[in-house]
Chain A
Amino acid sequence: MSRRHLGIFTAAVLAAASLTACGGSGDDSAASPKTLTYWASNQGASLEADKTTLQPELDKFEKQTGIKVNLEVVPWSDLLNRLLAAAASGKGPDVVNIGNTWSASLQATGALVEFDDATLQAVGGKDRIVPAALAAAGAPGKPPAAVPLYSMAYSLYYNKKAFADAGITAPPTTWEQLAEDGKKLTKGGKWGLAIEGANPSENAHHAFTFSQQYGGDWFDSAGKPTFDTPQNVSAIKRYVDFMAADKITNPSNAEYAQNQSVSDFANGKAAMLLWQSAGSNLKTQNMAADAYGVAPVPFLASPPAGGKKVNSMVAGINMAVFKHTKNKDGALSFVKFMTSDEEQTLLNKTYGSLPAVKTAGADPAFSAPEQKSIQETLVTTAAPLPQVPDESTFETLVGTAMKELFADAASGKPVTEQSVKAKLTDAQQKMR
């Protein structure tokens, strides 16, 4: 090989090599003790809306403590990756919002400050926090890796007018009824149920609930995955069948990953929606609060042996502090501020979620029909997702498998027990 060829070859090697050179990067942690960097999750209708909501509160905090908080609202599609990059690099924000289902996964990286009793005391005390919410903040038997911030649960949202027009008098309480009602509601370009079919996390949340109702589990007691059990196959098939068999869901929903299902519900294109705290989002899309009803998520009419009476996960947002922060005291005082009664009331009112501290529930806003339904579910029939280190991987793998099943259903391919099982077995084999 001549020198010239060597030159071309070297350049080709380097062009090819750029593939291996991918990696995460994070912003620099706040170096000065008088500033903090805070990554908020996207709770409102848009990133901008969240900034508008949060900035006045951050200004208030700065006035109280002299600590300036630099806010970045991170979209859900990026949040987990960004958190992982921050954990890996030891650079990035001081305080972050995390989906509560990721608590154990992120805890396992060892990058988050542990909220032992003393640390919890520093942010206001363990006794103030709603116990169910605290249980979803880390693996059992370990100090929580985060503090609950907003509490939510799934509800069934239904369009009152569409129900009345179809002669349906009450919201469905079983999945069988929901399918029946859905068929009555599916006509003239309108559909019974809207589903966020291409959003892995959303899919995985439903995978959990349905699996519980069928008596299944996604992990055994040792934390090992049990994805392709018959119960889980039935559970996933039941959910995907709303599109594949009952045909009460628009095939287009197989493409939805940017909350288009909420928009479809708000615009009357779909009459039912399973969602967490959809109210504030529906309001920004100009759907009046009296245009829709809120009911508990249905159950199976005749649950199989071992089926649990669970119709939602304990959903919520937690607040975590990175160990790499150079201003831990400031970060903890910010967590304390955000979980104070005043902020809890104000922020949860805005987002339509429920406070994660017991002392902030008195505001009349939290006894609106939607919030009462969420409260009811959280107290009686919600269960936390398994708090195991592989939880986030479960969401990705099973959620993606379901996305592919929805794609099959949408393009007219049959969705059978075999095809569901094959996808789940594949997903399980990718866990190591």
Chain B
Amino acid sequence: MATSTTAPNADRRVPRAGSPARGAARRPRGPRRSLLPYLLLAPAIVLELAIHVIPMVVGVWMSLLELTQFHIRDWSTAPFVGLENYRATLDLNSAAGKELLHSFWVTLIYSVLSVGFAWLLGIAAAVVLQKPFRGRAILRALFLTPYALPVYTAVITWSFLLQRDTGLVNHVLVDQLGLLNERPFWLIGDNSFWSLLVVSVWRNWPFAFLCLMAGLQNVPGELYEAAAIDGAGFWRRLRSVTLPMLRPVNLVLLLVLFLWTFNDFNTPYVLFGGSAPEQADLISIHIYRSSFKTWDFGSGSAMSVALLLFLLVVSAAYLLITNRRRDDHA
């Protein structure tokens, strides 16, 4: 993902320089050129086909079958039911449809909040650590720790922390600080959503931090000096120099974070152990439950395909809007 944007980023680093550089770069001509790029791309394309495209096509095919335990061993025996799985899972009057819709909203709110907080923390830390000072390297390393930890280890630790009777969170809140009289539940009921959100932000913000920190390296110091001479304060510099210069990074970062969070399976799965409480029933877990736990892989695939289409629409809309805005600016 990042590679596809570095080239365009590079030519916008000098925003007002016009765009003669774009497309005008001389490319070497000759017979070699025609073959080499394809050769270099071949391994990636093969892997892409094997890892993403083929399973995706198989997933679409599965969604058209009644693929239950009776047929899972030999798919050729599974009856072709056309769009029946879609009808059943997307019928908003049925229990399954309502739950899917509920879980869709939960996931959407969760993703927006999680990405928002992760980005805010990321930009704050990146800006604070922009100028060298004593201990900066240590802080950087420390901030990246959640990202470096294996997800299972990290989330299992969180699930221990959040247990009601034996968890450290309640121990601190109730026993040590005395802020609450009752021990609240963190992993069931309404709080479970917020617990999930905290864990997710904790896991994701270092990535935002890393990307934004890298983006800030590319902001020329002269711009800040010029802004300072013009009398711009901290907030003004942030708004008028830092954020516009980070725009290409943000464009990709927010999209990627959103897609990752929306599809995140590991965090809720490990935190809640397979079946999340209603309030935190993310769509990935919901689909997992529908396929693996009830052995109805056709319906599960139908939900996945529907979700894929939704994310495609969101991504396309996002890119169209952000690109139009940029073209307006140019």
Residues of chain A touching chain B, judged by Cβ–Cβ distance below 8 Å, are 1, 4-5, 7-23, 77, 81, 84, 87-88, 90, 105-106, 108-111, 198, 200, 250-252, 254-255, 257, 389, 392-393, 396-397, 400, 403-404, 407, 410-411, 425-426, 429-432
Q: Known: A17-B52, A21-B51. Contact between A11 and B4, CB under 8 A? A: yes
Closest to A6 in B: B4
Given contacts A8-B1, A105-B69, A430-B290, 19 further A-B contacts (CB under 8 A): A4-B4, A8-B252, A14-B48, A16-B263, A18-B52, A21-B51, A77-B273, A84-B69, A108-B69, A108-B70, A111-B73, A198-B273, A252-B165, A255-B164, A389-B69, A404-B277, A410-B188, A429-B94, A432-B88
B46 to chain A, nearest CB (A): 14
User: Is A12 a contact of B294 with CB atoms below 8 Å?
Assistant: no
Instruction: Please pick, from A9, A13, A110, A404, the residue contacting B278 in the complex, using a CB distance under 8 A.
Output: A404
**Which of B119-127, B236-244, B311-319 contacts its partner?**
B311-319
User: Is A21 a contact of B59 with CB atoms below 8 Å?
Assistant: yes
Q: How far, in whole Å, are A278 and B70 apart by their CA atoms in the complex?
A: 35
Decide if B250 is an interface residue (CB 8 Å cutoff): no
Q: Known: A109-B69, A425-B95. Contact between A12 and B275, CB under 8 A? A: no
Q: Known: A5-B319, A109-B69. Contact between A20 and B59, CB under 8 A? A: yes
Closest to A87 in B: B73
A103 to chain B, nearest CB (A): 13
Decide if B185 is an interface residue (CB 8 Å cutoff): yes
Q: Known: A14-B48, A16-B263, A110-B73. Contact between A23 and B296, CB under 8 A? A: no
Instruction: Please pick, from A23, A393, A430, the residue contacting B95 in the complex, using a CB distance under 8 A.
Output: A430
User: Is B323 a contact of A5 with CB atoms below 8 Å?
Assistant: yes
Residues of chain B contacted by A18 (CB below 8 angstroms):
52, 263
Q: Known: A9-B319, A18-B263, A407-B189. Contact between A432 and B311, CB under 8 A? A: no
Those of B66-119 within 8 Å (CB) of chain A: 68-70, 72-74, 88, 94-96, 99
Contact code string B174-198 (vs A, CB < 8 Å = 1, else 0)? 0000000001010111100000000
Instruction: Please pick, from B1, B51, B190, B308, the residue contacting A19 in the complex, using a CB distance under 8 A.
Output: B308
Decide if B274 is an interface residue (CB 8 Å cutoff): yes
Residues of chain A contacted by B185 (CB below 8 angstroms):
251, 254-255, 407, 410-411
6 contacts between A and B (CB under 8 A): A4-B7, A21-B56, A88-B72, A111-B73, A411-B188, A411-B190
Question: How many pairs, one residue from A and one from B, have CB atoms within 8 Å of each other in the complex?
Answer: 161
Shortest Cβ-Cβ A-B pairs, 8 listed: A7-B4, A21-B55, A20-B59, A16-B311, A411-B189, A12-B315, A407-B188, A429-B95
Residues of chain A contacted by B304 (CB below 8 angstroms):
19-20, 22
Closest to B297 in A: A88
Residues of chain A contacted by B273 (CB below 8 angstroms):
77, 198, 257
Decide if B301 is an interface residue (CB 8 Å cutoff): yes
B282 to chain A, nearest CB (A): 11
Q: How far, in whole Å, are A47 and B60 apart by their CA atoms in the complex?
A: 38
Q: How far, in whole Å, are A404 and B72 apart by their CA atoms in the complex?
A: 29
User: Is B275 a contact of A403 with CB atoms below 8 Å?
Assistant: yes
Residues of chain A contacted by B8 (CB below 8 angstroms):
4
Residues of chain A contacted by B294 (CB below 8 angstroms):
393, 396-397, 430-431
Q: How far, in whole Å, are A240 and B263 apart by their CA atoms in the complex?
A: 34
Most buried by A among B4, B163, B183, B320: B4
Contact code string B27-70 (vs A, CB < 8 Å = 1, else 0)? 00000000000000000000010011101100110000000111
Q: Known: A9-B315, A410-B189. Contact between A430 and B96, CB under 8 A? A: yes
Residues of chain A contacted by B292 (CB below 8 angstroms):
81, 84
Residues of chain B contacted by A20 (CB below 8 angstroms):
55-56, 59-60, 301, 304-305, 308
Decide if B255 is an interface residue (CB 8 Å cutoff): yes
User: Is A15 a contact of B259 with CB atoms below 8 Å?
Assistant: yes
Residues of chain A contacted by B320 (CB below 8 angstroms):
1
Instruction: Please pick, from A15, A17, A90, the residue contacting B73 in the complex, using a CB distance under 8 A.
Output: A90
Q: How far, in whole Å, are A250 and B185 apart by their CA atoms in the complex?
A: 12
Residues of chain A contacted by B290 (CB below 8 angstroms):
430
Closest to B318 in A: A12
Residues of chain A contacted by B259 (CB below 8 angstroms):
12, 15-16
Decide if B307 is an interface residue (CB 8 Å cutoff): yes
A86 to chain B, nearest CB (A): 10
